[in-house]
Structure 1
């Protein structure tokens, strides 16, 4: 019997993870807007901190007046005064 070979098109063509849809794509416009694509879930949010699970770890956004303006299955748009953004290894981390 032949074994099925499971490979994504992104692996074959050597696309970066964000292009292949596997990793997060983060677009920051100034200090007032952040677009996060390819996220897994929203872990916690307040006006001072938003924590998001991604395939490459947890993403922390901190600032003032943070608001989730758009929440779609694969896209978040956050507005407010952004002070910091950082990644930490988390449950969504691929090993």
Structure 2
């Protein structure tokens, strides 16, 4: 029921999807700082690749020298050289 209210209020007030919804909000400053909000889990992390699960599917970041500066329940702050960002919807997990 709350989801219906949240959606209708967001539609009525014309909020952008990242404010009214649960999808990821990604803020990139230059190529050196990345803020990701509303992620669900970290699937893979290395200095060259970060893979996150979100409500909208997986998010892939590729680059060099990635360092996690802040890890909170719904927010990640990453520093390093970002070379690519991509999304993959509806990823099936192999068991």
Normalising TM by the smaller chain, what interval? 0.7 to 0.9
Aligned-residue CA RMSD (Å)? 1.7
Contact 1:10 1:16 in 2 (8 A): no
Q: Paired residue for 1:10, among 6, 30, 38?
A: 6
Question: What is the CA–CA distance in structure 2 between the aligned matches of 1:28 and 1:88, rounded to whole Å?
Answer: 19
Question: What is the CA–CA distance in structure 2 between the aligned matches of 1:21 and 1:63, rounded to whole Å?
Answer: 28
Q: Which runs of 4+ in 1 moved over 6 A?
A: none
Give the structure with the higher percent helix: 2
* Bigger radius of gyration: 1
Number of corresponding residues? 87
What is the TM-score when the length of structure 2 is the normalising length? 0.83
Query: Unaligned regions of 5+ residues in structure 2, if any?
Result: none
- Match runs of 1:12-91 below 5 Å: 12-13=8-9, 14=11, 15-91=15-91
What is the TM-score when the length of structure 1 is the normalising length? 0.83
Query: Unaligned regions of 5+ residues in structure 1, if any?
Result: 1-5
